[in-house]
């Protein structure tokens, strides 16, 4: 659906260029990047109130993945007020606005969804949803960047296009609902960016970037050189035989015992995991039985198998599945293991990181740049994007408490909602104005997987293992 309405001031971003994109002679004159960055930062500052208001409104009405109807509506209305044509939905929910018409195309992403933590003070009382991961701040950064280029003529002096993309369902949860969407044929993957990749929304994108809230970092600092684990998601069902737990336990097959032994098998296998692979396995039991006086006949579990590389994920997951199957074998039960693609490892692009850090240092000072960036053992579907296009995914301060916990909160509105938009907009100016950076991005994209290659890799994690040891 395409829409266009009048609203905030719009400057048309089209111009003729004599240079061939991709060559060093991209401009008739060298762009004055300092002046251009001053203009985009001024535009963001002029719309500071609207940006902050949107972020706080989203925080006050959190929605879970693929259910972000109202959140998408708020973003769409903001795009329309900027005079932009909007494409929606992208994958059940989500929206995209294109600014400019040049090449290369840089996408700025903001995640729409909340997570579940009923203990958070801003949690929805009915769903437990809350923005304890800072996705509302990502939307502020994405919208602020759109403001920077939609209300100025900066792209007239650069060769490139900026796409603002509000993306659904980054948090890998509420999986029963997502399985229902999959069964209905509305999605194939549980992650929003995976669905966008499958549907071709990144086919014309040359680079993608977004900013994530840093864990327990109220200070004005940024970390941009991280990598993350990928993972495979697991659904496990143990089936036994019900019987009276007191009168005839010998006539039953205890599915709970099978599950416990499977979990203990995972723990025993941990010494096989190499430190350099950063393996993490964390199963939970979602159903443990139906009555204390009945031998449990069905027990269900969920888990992730995470690691630094695709190869390490596959190797560790084989060990995990063997342990789970051994639990069923030990007590004569049946086990069904359904593996679903989780997220791919995140790898960032050096040219994009360099430009981001330079702009962050310009606004925050050199001391704000954290250069000692450890590998992070969490996961994000931005890792999937980074398999296909060059990507940037820094962590930014301005937040207190730990992400996903009840104490997470914005500590510095300026840093969380406004400054990051200025940094990202300046980063885009530098990237589009620098022929060497453009060439580096194009070369990096050429070395990435095609959409078809990516889909082949991610679909390889879809598997079903059945071990039936019942008499």
Per the CB < 8 A criterion, the answer to whether 383 and 343 are in contact is yes
Closest to 382 (Cα-Cα) out of 280, 232, 230: 230
Q: How far apart are CA 460 and CA 341, in angstroms?
A: 8
| 158: nearest Cα among 8, 46, 19 | 19
pLDDT at 28 > cutoff 70: no
| Residues belonging to the chain | 471
Q: Using the 8-state DSSP alphabet, how is residue 310 labeled?
A: H
Write out the two tokens for 182: 């999959």
Distance from C-alpha of 33 to C-alpha of 355, rounded to nearest angstrom = 12
pTM, two decimal places: 0.90
Nearest to 440 by CA among 373, 358, 348, 374: 348
Looking at domain 230-343+457-468, its CATH class is: alpha beta
357-370, pLDDT tens digit by residue? 999 999 999 999 99
Q: Residue 264: its pLDDT value, please?
A: 97
Query: What are the tokens at 333?
Result: 């039960």
Query: Can you give the pLDDT at residue 30?
Result: 67
Superfamily in which the 33-228+346-433 domain is placed by CATH = Zn peptidases (3.40.630.10)
Give the C-alpha separation, 365 to 362, whole Å: 6
pLDDT at 3 over 70: no
Nearest to 86 by CA among 13, 14, 7, 4: 4
- DSSP codes of every residue in 143-200: HHHHHHHHSS-GGGGSS-EEEEEEE---S---HHHHHHHHHTTS-SSSSHHHHHHHTT
Q: What is the mean pLDDT of the chain?
A: 93
CA distance 235 to 324: 11
Give the pLDDT confidence of 191-224 residue by residue, as tens digits: 999 999 999 999 999 999 999 999 999 999 999 9
User: Domain spans of the chain?
Assistant: 33-228+346-433, 230-343+457-468
At residue 85, the pLDDT reads 94
How far is it, in rounded angstroms, from Cα 449 to Cα 467? 35
């Amino acid at each position: 659906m395409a829409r266009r309405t009048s609203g905030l001031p719009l400057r048309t971003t089209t111009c003729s260029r004599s240079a061939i994109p991709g060559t060093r002679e991209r401009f008739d004159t060298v762009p004055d990047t300092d002046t251009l960055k001053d203009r985009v930062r001024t535009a963001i500052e002029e719309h500071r109130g609207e940006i902050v208001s949107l972020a706080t409104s989203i925080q006050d009405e959190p929605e879970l993945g693929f259910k972000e109807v109202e959140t998408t509506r708020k973003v769409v209305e903001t795009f329309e007020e900027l005079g932009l044509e909007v494409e929606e939905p992208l994958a059940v929910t989500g929206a995209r606005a294109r600014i400019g018409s040049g090449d290369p195309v840089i996408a700025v992403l903001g995640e729409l969804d909340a997570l579940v933590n009923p203990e958070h003070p801003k949690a929805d009382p009915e769903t437990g949803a809350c923005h304890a991961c800072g996705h509302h701040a990502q939307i502020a950064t994405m919208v602020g960047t759109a403001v920077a280029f939609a209300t100025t003529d900066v792209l007239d002096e650069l060769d490139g296009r900026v796409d603002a993309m509000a993306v659904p369902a980054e948090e890998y949860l509420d999986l029963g609902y997502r399985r229902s969407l999959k069964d209905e044929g509305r999605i194939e993957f549980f992650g929003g960016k995976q669905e966008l990749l499958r549907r071709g929304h990144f086919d014309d994108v040359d680079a993608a970037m977004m900013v994530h809230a840093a864990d327990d970092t109220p200070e004005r600092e940024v970390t941009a050189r991280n990598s993350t684990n990928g993972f495979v998601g697991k659904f496990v069902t143990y089936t036994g035989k019900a019987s009276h737990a007191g009168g005839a336990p010998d006539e039953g097959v205890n599915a709970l015992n099978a599950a416990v032994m499977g979990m203990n098998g995972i723990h025993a296998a941990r010494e096989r995991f190499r430190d350099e692979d950063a393996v993490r396995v964390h199963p939970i039991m979602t159903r443990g039985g139906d009555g204390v006086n009945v031998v449990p006949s069905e027990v269900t579990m969920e888990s992730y198998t995470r690691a630094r590389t695709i190869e390490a994920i596959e190797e560790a997951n084989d060990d995990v599945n063997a342990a789970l199957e051994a639990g069923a074998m030990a007590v004569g039960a049946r086990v069904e293991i359904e593996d679903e693609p989780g997220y791919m490892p995140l790898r960032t692009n050096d040219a994009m990181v360099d430009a981001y850090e330079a702009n962050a240092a310009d606004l925050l000072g050199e001391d704000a740049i954290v250069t000692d960036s450890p590998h992070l053992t969490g996961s994000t579907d931005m890792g999937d994007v980074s398999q296909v296009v060059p990507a940037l995914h820094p962590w930014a301060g301005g937040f207190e408490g730990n992400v996903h916990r009840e104490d997470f909160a914005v500590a510095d509105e300026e840093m969380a909602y406004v400054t990051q938009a200025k940094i990202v907009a300046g980063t885009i100016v530098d990237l589009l104005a620098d022929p060497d950076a453009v060439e580096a991005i194009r070369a990096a994209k050429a070395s990435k997987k095609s959409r078809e290659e990516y889909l082949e890799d991610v679909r390889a994690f879809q598997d079903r293992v059945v071990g039936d040891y019942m008499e």
